[in-house]
Amino acid sequence: MLILALESSCDETAASVSRDGREILSNVVYSQIDMHALYGGVVPEIASRKHAEKITAVAAEAVRQAGIEWSDLDAVAATCAPGLIGALLVGANFAKACSLMLNVPFIPVHHIRGHIAAGYVAFPQLEPPFTALVASGGHTVIIDVEDYTKMTVLGTTRDDAAGEAFDKIGRVLSLPYPGGAALDKLAQTGNKDRYKLPRASVNGHPFDFSFSGLKTAAVNLAHNAKQKGEEIDPNDLAAAVAHAVADSVVPRVVAAAKEMGRKKITAAGGVAANSILRAKLTALCEKEGIELYLPPLSLCGDNGAMIACQAYYEYMAGNTSDSSQNCYANMAVSDQLCGR
Ligand code: KG4
Ligand code: ZN
């Protein structure tokens, strides 16, 4: 079964063709990040307009690179929630128009379910049940994946996402937006113990996160140093931040897996590209005898392949829709998109 999937929930215009879910025939990503970097963050209006400009060319390129004809497609999919609403509507409307023209089903896909499916693309042997961490610029969430389309949120952030904290701290260090990857690089040669940063927990909710205190503490450190005319060491601060995030995330994901009796863990989303988080998660999973499935960096950030893969499992579960399908800025990963 051949599926063309569109992803336009934030600042990447992406398209991919999958065969029977996990075989990715093409994966085209147009990043708008240079445009948004000028403003220090994603500007929703600019994102929607850029998606509208690029979506046709990106989709056509995905079909061309897959070596197929448009008429070979069995279904068309798009991310319909959660995300920037204007941005989502561009990809979803394009995909719905394609499905009408080709007379094939339209499959709406939840963005977080897509991130989880990056694990299926990277590891042919990976099957539910397992525990998933999705950590990105907009989400930090631990999910019990009982089956391909059946999942429960075990823990989530109460305030900022982990990526948001990385990006705001990156900004005070004058790093270009988004700062996560640059902070990761700086952290490699930093002393993690020079600056003390908090690891927050939420009373009575062992799998929930809070990153706003960490963000404020790091930003204040930098501002106070500046006011005193002192230099903050960017490498040391980056290392302190990366370790604080990893220390907040890693034990919780492993504890959640153990609580659910799961023997496998996956991690995805842009923050799952973080080298310190990956190293700590690898070490703890090894210690606890849990199999860890970490997709390559190219599949951690937003891409079309993860949506094209998840779309197949949604189709198999009967989750297809039509041109009346709407998009939603917020939606729980456990909820069904079709029929809303
Ligand atoms: O999944 P993603 O590409 O887009 C969203 O759905 O948000 O994630 C982007 C986020 C940004 O906050 C970025 O700074 C962060 O992922 N990020 C990283 C790294 N690479 C990207 N954070 C920490 N370490 C990295 N290596
Ligand atoms: Zn994402």
How many A from CA of 309 to the centre of ligand 1?
21
How many A from CA of 301 to the centre of ligand 2?
6
Residue type, 11: D
How many A from CA of 6 to the centre of ligand 2?
13
pLDDT (tens digit per residue) in 159-206: 999 999 999 999 999 999 999 999 999 999 999 999 999 999 999 999
Domains and CATH numbers, the chain: 2-116+302-316 (3.30.420.40), 128-294 (3.30.420.40)
Residue type, 113: R
Q: Tell me what pLDDT residue 340 has.
A: 84
- Span between the terminal Cα atoms of the chain, in Å: 26
How far apart, in whole angstroms, are the C-alpha atoms of residue 54 and residue 43? 16
Q: Tell me what pLDDT residue 256 has.
A: 98
| Residue at token pair 């990106």 | 58
Q: What is the DSSP string of 53-106?
A: HHHHHHHHHHHHHHT--GGG-SEEEEEEESS-HHHHHHHHHHHHHHHHHHT--E
Ligand 1 atom closest to the Cα of residue 11 is: 4
Average pLDDT along the chain: 97
Residue length of the chain? 340
On the 0-12 / 13-18 / 19+ scale of CB atoms within 10 A, 61 is middle
Residues in contact with ligand 1 by the CB-under-6-Å rule are 10, 136-138, 163, 166-167, 178-181, 184, 269-271, 273-274, 301-302
Probe residue for ligand 1, chosen from 110, 139, 166, 211 as the CB with the greatest number of ligand atoms within 8 Å:
166
pLDDT (tens digit per residue) in 317-336: 999 999 999 999 999 999 99
How many A from CA of 82 to the centre of ligand 2?
9
pLDDT (tens digit per residue) in 94-153: 999 999 999 999 999 999 999 999 999 999 999 999 999 999 999 999 999 999 999 999
